[in-house]
Structure 1
Amino acid sequence: MSRTVARLLVDAWEELGVRHVFGVVGDALNPVTDALRASESVTWVGCRHEEAAAFAAGAQSQLSGTLGVCMGTVGPGAVHLLNGLYDAAKSGTPVLAIAGQVPLSEIGSDSFQEVDNDLLFKDVAVFRATVTSPAQFPALLEIAVRNAIGRRGVAVLTVPGDIGDQEIPDDRPLRLAVTPSPNRPDDPAVEAAADFLDEGGKVTLLVGQGARDSRADVLALADRLAAPMVLTLKAKEGLEDDNPFQVGQTGLIGNPAAAHAMDSADTLLLLGTDFPYREWYPKGKKVVQVDRVAEHIGRRVPVDVALAADVGPTVRGLLQHLAPREDRAHLDHATGLYATWRNAQDRLTAPGHDRRLLGRVRAALDNRDHLVRPEALAAAVDRAAADDAVFTSDTGMSTVWLSRFVHMRGTRRLLGSYNLGSMANAMPQAIGAQLLDTGRQTVAFCGDGGLGMLLGDLMTVRTQRLPLKLVVFDNQRLGMVKLEQEQGGLPEFGTTLDNPDFARVAEALGITGIRVTHADELEEAVARAFACEGPVLLDVLTNPEEIAVPAKPTVQQGWGYARSPSCARTSPARGSEHSAGE
């Protein structure tokens, strides 16, 4: 029995275990959405913006390890997918995007809404093609799926409006299987790397997402080398909890202990990370890098020993050759510094912090309206959330507070736009995550700027009856931009946001809305939000003057704050406890 192009596409998704397809309906894709309507295992999720659809598909892919799928119709619908697809591409996760197109006879005529999709998606996609005949479609679909899964990236198939409902001649079963296998370097390379590390003096590990599935091996390696372990943000999940070697993050969201562990090492061992901030790599160190993607090696920092292989088998090979370290002073000093900094941070989050002497002094200078400290909000959510919760975070200060005050204990998962750095990702990623398992708690750390950008997809939360917990850090600012301006000695400009009462907006949409305007209301409000069975938007007015001092504040940054007119009133106290270490 012959099948149409649209029916074959839906059958392929069923075979691949795809459960949801995200997008906005439109004429060019009507045959596909009609085939989805008849599917018993793949559900169409209509979003209010295609960008949200692409973010949701990418989130499902990252969490499930399977193919994420999104669709955008001809012209503007396809264009709107682009930002979310870039996030998937830079996150290295497989997503298939189906883009509509004008009828075949109109292609190239600058027809209404016509966009050259193959050109549009050239940079973001590992594979892209326009279907020009039904007979061509099965092979193109197989190639697209294999590229997306095998190369862990985005594949885009463009389907003209008059192709989807045509029958495929000579219909045959699809061949979609892709079985990636782990690889390890050969024995001489492993032995040479082990010798290099044995002679490398004090070693510090910088561990990324690529090592998350090899937790036991990586911890054994840290113990063998007596090495502190600096985690990238993506490595918090799976490697932060119950890890006596970890000292938190480096970079702008980092802490002094992690910076010290990097700076005081003789050798850095990079495991499964493409940490992109070159200025945070100390100079003059010996470097060993292990990464399954060969082109990642050496592009951030010069590398002495390169092992292009998966972390797990490589580390197991190293453990067979490395001698145990008896001197653990480097490790103990770094972990001691981290414990001291961690205790100081925890004091900031105490419910009565601003009622104590130091808190009252700080509040008089930088929080005269007694708004909620964002640290306290993040810590309260951390205490209330389940040990298997999925967290998403918007780019900017929301991610800073999550990185410092949310502990990835138990089987918690973490998603964000941590490579692309897009705004507005937290809510749509949470939509995708929650649909995978409606019984699993999903928490979005939303910036007020990010939430406002894709606010329309609150209606998707309502329509899908998703029990999301949307936590809004409502400082009425583009907080990270404000911070950047002040670091440069500039007055704050263009960052203020004229926000509505987001809780009342949520209530108007049939979502429980809770608004917090004072620190004394926080604990009860967070408890109420997490006790509610349905979707909740928790709108918390947070202090816009709160900043997180980076791990190694520079003289230039300090001088920038001093010169910034918007900092002049508060600069002596702002963030002082973050850097003092107490």
Structure 2
Amino acid sequence: MARTVAHVIVDALEELGVQHVFGVVGDALNPLTDAIRTSDDISWVGCRHEEAAAFAAGAQSQLSGTLGVCMGTVGPGSVHLLNGLYDAAKSHAPVLAICGQVPLSEVGSDYFQEVDNDLLFRDVAVYRATVTSPDQMPRLLESAVRAAVTQGGVAVLTVPADLGDRELTDDRPTRFALDRAVTRPEDPALVRAAALLNEASRVTLLVGQGARGARTEVLRAAELLSAPMVLTLKAKEGFDGDNPYQVGQTGLIGNPAAAHALDSGDALLMLGTDFPYREWYPQDVKVVQIDAREDHLGRRTPVDVGLAGDVGATLRALLPLLEDVPDRGHLDDARKRFAEWQEGQRRLADPAHEHRLTGKLRAALDNRDHEIRPEALAAAVDAHAADDAVFTSDTGMATVWLSRFVTMRGDRRLIGSYNLGSMANAMPQALGAQLWAPDRQIVAFCGDGGLSMLLGDLMTIKTYRLPVKLVVFDNRRLGMVKLEQEQMGLPEFGTELDNPDFAAVATALGLTGIRVTDPDDLDDAVRRAFDTPGPVLLDVLTNPEEVAVPGKATVSQGWGFAVAKVKEMLPGNAD
């Protein structure tokens, strides 16, 4: 029996193991959503905004390592997918976006809602195509899926409104052939890398997401080289917990121990990372970089030996060539500095800190109203969240507090918009994560600005009864922008947010809302949020003047901050 274009697509997604398709229904998608309606294996998840749908699909892809799928109907419906798809592309997450189009006979006539999807998605997609005949199926679908999975990116398949219910004349089965090769460099390159590392006396590791599948090999390399391990944010998952070599993150969200470990070494071994901030790389050191993507080698800092290959396979070949370094001075110094920094952070996160002398002195400068410190909120969440919780975080200060106070112990997972740096990602990513793992605890670190940007999809969480825990850092500010302005010597401007009572909004929408304004109530409120069945929004009013000191604060940043504070106190913020 002949099948329609829509049924070919849905049957193929079933074959691939896709369980959820996210989107907003619309005319051009009607044949496809009707095919999903009759599917036994795929569920349609109707979001309130297509951007949320794309974020949710990308989250599922990142967590599962398989294909995520979203849909947007003709014109604006497809345009709204764009930001979430850019996040997937920057995260190298395989996502298939199926987009509607005007009837084929009207393409090119400036028809109502017509948008050139192939042009629109040109920059974000590794593959894009418009179906112009049923006989192109399933070939175009196979090409789209294969490109998304093998290249780790977004594929966009556009289906005009009058083609979805057309039957194929040649109804052959789909064939995907998605097995990927694991490669490593040739032996001469490994010998050069080993010689460079063996000649060094103080090696530091910079470890990224691309090394997460090679934890055993990475730890062995650190052991042999007596090397401190600096983590990128995306490497917290996999290397944060139970790791005697790690010293946290570098960069603006990082700490002084990590910065010192990089700057005091004489060799740097980069493993599966494309850490983008050039100013945080050490100068005048020898560099070996291992990365599966050859175009990543040397593009952030000059590299002496670049090894293109899978991190695990490459290290397994490299480790026998490395000499054991008995002098642990470099490692021990970095770990001691990291422990001292962590102890200072723990004191700051202790609610009792405000009542001690040092806490009172600091509060007189930056927390005169004795509001809840965001550090205390993040630490409380870390203490009460499950050891297999999945965390998402909004870009900005919410990510800073997560990076410093939440440990990826046990089987915890972590995703965020850490390459694109979008606002509003944490809540829709949590939505996708909860559907992917219905029995696991999903915790979203939401900024108040990010949450309010896609607030409507709280209703999606309610509709599908998803027991996500939304932790809102409600400082009534675009906090990261405020900090950026002040570090430049500019007074705060345009960052203040006139927020509602988010807990009351959640309650009105059918979720459990909990609002916390008193530091003494914080721990009990966090515990209650996790103990409450179903979706919970925890709205915590945090100190808007909190400053996250970077790992390597500069004199110019400090001076800029002082100048900004003076300007903010002057009438009218005068220059």
Q: Given the alignment of the two structures, is residue 219 of structure 1 paired with residue 219 of structure 2, yes or no?
A: yes
C-alpha displacement of 1:306: 0.4
Aligned twin of 2:118: 118
Aligned twin of 2:370: 370
Aligned twin of 1:301: 301
Aligned twin of 1:450: 450
Q: Given the alignment of the two structures, is residue 465 of structure 1 paired with residue 465 of structure 2, yes or no?
A: yes
Aligned twin of 1:12: 12
RMSD: 1.0
Aligned twin of 1:51: 51
Q: Is the 8 A contact 2:196 2:286 kept in 1?
A: no
Aligned twin of 1:93: 93
The one-letter code of the counterpart of 1:360 is: K
Aligned twin of 1:251: 251
C-alpha displacement of 1:566: 6.0
Distance in 2, Cα, partners of 1:228 & 1:26? 53
Distance in 2, Cα, partners of 1:98 & 1:295? 29
Aligned twin of 1:340: 340
Distance in 2, Cα, partners of 1:351 & 1:255? 22
Distance in 1, Cα, partners of 2:499 & 2:539? 11
C-alpha displacement of 1:364: 2.3
SS of the aligned residue for 2:137 comes to helix
C-alpha displacement of 1:152: 0.5
Distance in 1, Cα, partners of 2:93 & 2:512? 33
Q: Which moved more, 1:180-189 or 1:503-512?
A: 180-189
SS of the aligned residue for 1:92 comes to coil
Matches within 5 A, 1:443-522: 443-522=443-522
Aligned twin of 1:182: 182
Per-residue CA shift, 1:542-563, capped at 9, x if unaligned?
Answer: 0000011100101110110111
Q: Is the 8 A contact 1:470 1:537 kept in 2?
A: yes
Distance in 2, Cα, partners of 1:468 & 1:31? 31
Q: Is the 8 A contact 1:486 1:566 kept in 2?
A: no
The one-letter code of the counterpart of 1:494 is: G
Matches within 5 A, 1:184-223: 184-223=184-223
The one-letter code of the counterpart of 1:264 is: S
Distance in 2, Cα, partners of 1:564 & 1:502? 30
The one-letter code of the counterpart of 1:364 is: A
Distance in 2, Cα, partners of 1:342 & 1:565? 28
Q: Which moved more, 1:192-201 or 1:340-349?
A: 192-201
Matches within 5 A, 1:132-171: 132-171=132-171
Aligned twin of 1:404: 404
The one-letter code of the counterpart of 1:24 is: V
Matches within 5 A, 1:49-88: 49-88=49-88
The one-letter code of the counterpart of 1:265 is: G
C-alpha displacement of 1:299: 0.7
Distance in 2, Cα, partners of 1:254 & 1:227? 18
C-alpha displacement of 1:567: 7.2
C-alpha displacement of 1:253: 0.3
The one-letter code of the counterpart of 2:246 is: Q
Q: Is the 8 A contact 1:486 1:567 kept in 2?
A: no
Distance in 2, Cα, partners of 1:536 & 1:286? 50
Per-residue CA shift, 1:7-39, capped at 9, x if unaligned?
Answer: 010001100000000000000000000000000
Aligned twin of 1:229: 229
Q: Is the 8 A contact 1:562 1:568 kept in 2?
A: no
SS of the aligned residue for 1:126 comes to strand
Distance in 1, Cα, partners of 2:78 & 2:91? 20
Q: Which moved more, 1:520-529 or 1:354-363?
A: 354-363
C-alpha displacement of 1:370: 1.5
C-alpha displacement of 1:568: 6.5
Distance in 2, Cα, partners of 1:174 & 1:559? 63
Distance in 2, Cα, partners of 1:28 & 1:469? 35
The one-letter code of the counterpart of 2:273 is: T
The one-letter code of the counterpart of 2:143 is: I
SS of the aligned residue for 2:99 comes to strand
SS of the aligned residue for 1:143 comes to helix
**Gaps (5+ residues) in structure 2?**
571-575
C-alpha displacement of 1:81: 0.3
**Gaps (5+ residues) in structure 1?**
571-582
Per-residue CA shift, 1:312-343, capped at 9, x if unaligned?
Answer: 01111111111100111111101110011111
Per-residue CA shift, 1:32-80, capped at 9, x if unaligned?
Answer: 0000000011000000000000000000000001100000000000000
Overall identity of the aligned pairs, in %: 72
Distance in 2, Cα, partners of 1:566 & 1:389? 43
Distance in 2, Cα, partners of 1:48 & 1:9? 24
Distance in 2, Cα, partners of 1:194 & 1:423? 42
Per-residue CA shift, 1:361-413, capped at 9, x if unaligned?
Answer: 22222212221000000000000100000000000000000000000000000
Q: Is the 8 A contact 2:22 2:56 kept in 1?
A: yes
Aligned twin of 1:269: 269
SS of the aligned residue for 1:346 comes to helix
SS of the aligned residue for 1:29 comes to helix
Aligned twin of 1:31: 31
| Structure 1 residues 89 and 381: alpha-carbon distance in aligned structure 2, compared to 1, 3 A threshold | same
Aligned twin of 2:434: 434
The one-letter code of the counterpart of 1:414 is: L
**Count of residues in Structure 1 that have an aligned counterpart in Structure 2:** 570
Distance in 1, Cα, partners of 2:31 & 2:427? 29
Q: Is the 8 A contact 1:125 1:156 kept in 2?
A: yes
The one-letter code of the counterpart of 2:387 is: D
Per-residue CA shift, 1:95-121, capped at 9, x if unaligned?
Answer: 000010000011001111000000000
Q: Is the 8 A contact 1:231 1:246 kept in 2?
A: yes
Distance in 2, Cα, partners of 1:552 & 1:66? 38
Q: Is the 8 A contact 2:389 2:440 kept in 1?
A: yes
SS of the aligned residue for 1:247 comes to strand
Distance in 1, Cα, partners of 2:255 & 2:368? 27
SS of the aligned residue for 1:446 comes to strand
Distance in 2, Cα, partners of 1:552 & 1:360? 26
C-alpha displacement of 1:181: 2.1
Distance in 1, Cα, partners of 2:28 & 2:9? 15
SS of the aligned residue for 2:247 comes to coil
Q: Given the alignment of the two structures, is residue 540 of structure 1 paired with residue 540 of structure 2, yes or no?
A: yes
